[in-house]
Amino acid sequence: MEKKGQYPHRRWNPLRQSWVMVSPHRTQRPWQGEVGQKTLPSAVTFDPECYLCPGNKRAGGVANPKYDSIFTFVNDFAALLPEAPSHPDLTSSGLLRAEAVRGLCKVLCFHPDHSLTLARMTQEEIRPVIDAWAAEYTELGSLDWIKYVQIFENRGAMMGASNPHPHGQIWSTGFVPDEAAIETQAQREHLAKTGHCLLCEYLKTEQAAGERIIFENDHFAAVVPWWAVWPFEVMLLSKRHVGSMPQLDTDERDSLADALRRLCTRFDNLFETSFPYTMGFHQSPTDGESHEEWHFHAHFYPPLLRSATVRKFMVGFEMLGMPQRDITAESAAERLRACSETHFWPR
């Protein structure tokens, strides 16, 4: 008898209002494509050449303080600037539209130890990072021209991280970016139609099913979403309906620190490598509107597919047609559940 889900099908993503195609039988195909290098945790606690280590000079020439916990600064090579100069060449005509944009981009170093990652930090070390994220969201979001605050981390060279030091970024924008705008619309429509929060209902559905839940603690659940695109994609969902990180109370922030450590450790243990990913928090826009529909959550998008050296590429049909994945969400969750929460690499 055919195993459940082992046939081509597509799944609906209500948060993005889009489909993803699932082709689990393709995992059997031979691989003769690119093979990357396995990345092991670093043993270098201080790198004199690292522009994020305490006391070192950054690329722009500014010296970092000798920080002993977290450190935040305005990005020396920011993608957006607080003042948008007028561009006479950005005239809009018919189908050719353009407009100037403003933003403020910051970098947040998680720890002074160059060798660490969230997977190898303790819950007590991660907690100040969460408090700093919440404070930055509040401070940046209070600026009347900032409409959205995107907190994220690109982990590993495979995901474009320019520096291995434990750090993330905070891009605050004078507009609501596309992904947040799409999620806003989907959650708003669901609330208007049903009177219920979309992600509150989704979490209850996953808890009842059980097969895509990786773990839960008192206040958060780690789930491989039904509609996952990346092979080991995960959502961290707040169990309480809150719109943003500053709304989390003390116990919830402790739980978030616990969940981040446990999930990132499982990722590393899956292929015994320093697991690459893009991670980011989605939360209420700061555009001055009421956002009862918004439910705080985080997305993890890791690229690894078969091993520490074989990644998933979004090309061909994925770029021209729609997203497609080779392993089912249930299979990915099962493998992550089986991973230990004791890191494979001695600290």
Q: What are phi and psi of 143, to 5 degrees?
A: -70, 130
- Name which of 196, 251, 193 is nearest 220 in CA terms: 251
Q: How far, in Å, CA of 248 to CA of 144, rounded?
A: 23
The sign of the CA dihedral 253, 258, 262, 264 is: positive
Residue 297 known to be catalytic: no
Q: How far, in Å, CA of 28 to CA of 56, rounded?
A: 48
Angle value at C-alpha 251, between 204 and 228, nearest 5 degrees: 35
Which residues face 143 on adjacent strands? none
The sign of the CA dihedral 254, 257, 262, 263 is: positive
Annotated catalytic residue within 114, 165, 167, 295:
167
- Name which of 86, 334, 108, 129 is nearest 245 in CA terms: 129
As annotated, the active-site residues are: 167
